Every structure is written in C-alpha cells, then in structure tokens.
Amino acid sequence: MQTPLVVSTPTSAVAVAPRALAPIGIALLGTAWIASDVSWRQAALLLVGVTAGVVLYHAAFGFTSAWRVFISDRRGAGLRAQMLMLGATCLVFFPILAAGSLFGQPVRGSVAAPGVAVLAGAFIFGIGMQLGGGCASGTLYSAGGGSTRMFVVLAAFVAGSLWGTAHASWWSALPAWSPTSIVQAWGLAPALAASLTVFAAIAFGTARAERQRHGRLVPALDAPPHLWRGPWSLVAGALGLALVNVAVLAISGRPWGITGAFALWGAKIASLVGVSVTSWPYWSTPAQAAALEASVLADGTSVTNVGIMLGALAAAMAAGRFAPVWRVSSRSLAAAVVGGLLLGYGARAASGCNIGAYFSGIASGSVHGWLWLPAAFAGNVLGTYLRPWFGLDVERTTSC
C-alpha cells in the first residue's frame, strides 16, 4: 500500500494536538450514542476501529505495498510483519475457536467454502490492490488520513461490492469444497504447529530472497517512536492489528471483517435511488434483508469501518500530516476507479478481502484463507506489472 498522505511542512506538536481532539471527540460522542441506541458491544467496536485506524496509520501497515515491494524489489519486511501478525493471532484464536466460546459468549471463525470462486475472486482483488493502491483496510485508513484519491477508490470499492452481490449466486454455484477449519479437522495442536511452520517458512523465504538481492535485511525495529505522533515500526503494527482482531472476536463473537459493510452501504444507496436490490438472491436472505432494513449503526462491521477512518484522521492530525491534495492525474484517477471496482467485486466473489479472508480466515484455520493468499498474490503480480500503464510508481532499488 502506498504511503497514504502527502507530507506537508511539519507542524509543531503543540499546534497539531488540538486538531486531533476533534475526531477523538466525534468518536467518543458516537460511542455514547451507539451505546444508548444499540448496545455497549456495538459501541466498543467503534473504539476498536479507532484503535485500528491509529495502528494502521502510524505503522503505515500495508498489505498492498508489502506485496508490491517484494514482487518488484524482493524487500520482505512487510511480508514478514504479516507473518508475525498471523502467528500472534493464531496463538490466541485457535484455542478460543476450539473451545467455541469466550467469557460465555459463543464465537465462530471466518470459515468459508474454498473453491473456484475464492481463487478467481482473490486474483481479481489482487489486481485491484495494485491499481487502487490499497486493500480494504488500506483504503479506509488512507482515506481517513487525508488521501483524496483513496476516497475515489472507496466509492468505487462500494460500487464494486454491490456489483459483486448481483452475481453472488453465480459465483456460489461454481465448484467448491465444504467450508473447512483445520482447527476442527486436525485438532488444536496439529493445526497450530502446521500454521506456525508455514508462517516461519514464508518469513525465512522472504529473508533469503532479500539477502540474495540486497545483501542485508531492512531492520524490523526502528528507533522508539512517539506513541501518539508516530511513526511506529512494522512489528508494533503487526502486534497491534493482532490485538484488534482478538478484540473484535471477543466483543462480537466473530473475527474482523471489512468489505461486507461496503456491500451493505452500496445496497442502501441503491435502494434510496430506486434500485430493487431486495429482489437479488444475495439480499433476499433473512439476514441480509434484515441488515437492509436496520440502521447502519446496527451493523458491527460498518461501525468498525467508521472507527478506522476516525482513528486514521486523528493519527494524521497528531502527526501533522493531514494535508489533502485535490489534484489527481487522469491516469491515476482511472486506476483508482478500476482498482476500486475490482477490489469490491473480487472481495464478494472470494468471500472476503485481505482482512476477512486472508487475515481472519487464516487466523480461523479456514482452508479458504490459505487458498486466498496465493491467488491474491498472483493478482498482485499482474497488478504490479500494470501500474506503470497508469502512471503509478513501482519501487525498485539497486543499492545493497
């Protein structure tokens, strides 16, 4: 994922801090409102989202840029941070999911059917990552942090998600296996050992490739950052996002997801302008029909997404880097629209995005998450190749 903001002349921390209080105040008011109007759990999800936005922004934790710099330049620090994030989350998730409850609340993992739809959808999503310049989490935190281009990506992401629901029944009819969790199929210890082994192997492979290309590794830990102004290291970002996912599971009973809310937003907007989405099979199920009728505040994923944007906005203001740039080249704008549409459509076809399918899927032991990973990576390879056609940079270095 690209650095989401154009850095302006640094502002003093004294001048910036009061500005950061505005989004924090909005978040606190929203928390109180949701707690009284919906539930304390829903209100807590807003605060978890704010935390996620701060972590994502200050650590510049990108799935898109991490994959691109490895594809183009064999720099693997971002990928190794993702493996740390996955390993830390699995260590907590697997025992909880094996038990089936946490603090008396039933919990379930993000487990979906692995098959052709996951492979194709993840590949489409991967292309969209590189053209859009962000993934699901990256789009939210970059837009919240002040990237006007990513607002275009977000709008197209929502439209693509709605488009994907129109074809959901076709995708679900393609060949697939039954939803499978290795935690349930293999048992806790074997599933955890196998997962940690694969994470370690991927981390080792990226380190070896980076040393072969550059002679040394980029340090994973930089100088201690300022807690509020950042920046944070990738290690801090990885552990922070692991805690976010655990918090979402503890509060809502299910892992972190993002793009289901985008489909809901698109359906609500379409309904307002007269599109009869309730006649579509995807929106005719009891759960989805109820979500359409209810307030957006009743949807936990939507509340968390809004929190991410508020948290990123607060972090950007605290760091003195909230400086929206309104001019976007026509080629970059075209890539933003195409990339956003592919992101939304691919996520619906694949039953999730980099968070719901990759992060939460693998952390749930779901086979579909493991299928999503290589397919999306292949899409990123093609997307990285296509970026120069739209005037987008691809990172390459020659120094050791």
When divided into structural domains, the chain yields a total of 1
Per-residue pLDDT of 367-381, as tens digits, reads 999 999 999 999 999
Task: Show the domain range for 334.
Answer: 13-390
Per-residue pLDDT of 81-117, as tens digits, reads 999 999 999 999 999 999 999 998 999 999 999 999 9
Q: Is 372 part of a structural domain of the chain? A: yes
Quick check: helix, strand or coil at residue 215? coil
Q: Is 370 part of a structural domain of the chain? A: yes
Q: Is 7 part of a structural domain of the chain? A: no
- Cα 164 from Cα 263, distance rounded (Å): 8
pLDDT at residue 215 tops 80: yes
Q: Is 159 part of a structural domain of the chain? A: yes
- Find, among 11, 81, 394, 121, the residue nearest to 239 by Cα: 81
Q: Are 255 and 355 in contact (CB under 8 A)?
A: no
- Cα 357 from Cα 372, distance rounded (Å): 7
- Cα 169 from Cα 118, distance rounded (Å): 14
pLDDT at residue 14 tops 80: no
Q: Is 90 part of a structural domain of the chain? A: yes
Q: Is 5 part of a structural domain of the chain? A: no
Q: Is 2 part of a structural domain of the chain? A: no
* Global pTM exceeds 0.85: yes
The neighbouring-strand residues paired with 77 are none
Q: Retrieve residue 152's tokens.
A: 């275009």
What does the DSSP 8-state code read for residue 363?
A: H
Q: Are 238 and 84 in contact (CB under 8 A)?
A: yes
Per-residue pLDDT of 281-328, as tens digits, reads 999 999 999 999 999 999 999 999 999 999 999 999 988 888 787 788
Q: Is 162 part of a structural domain of the chain? A: yes
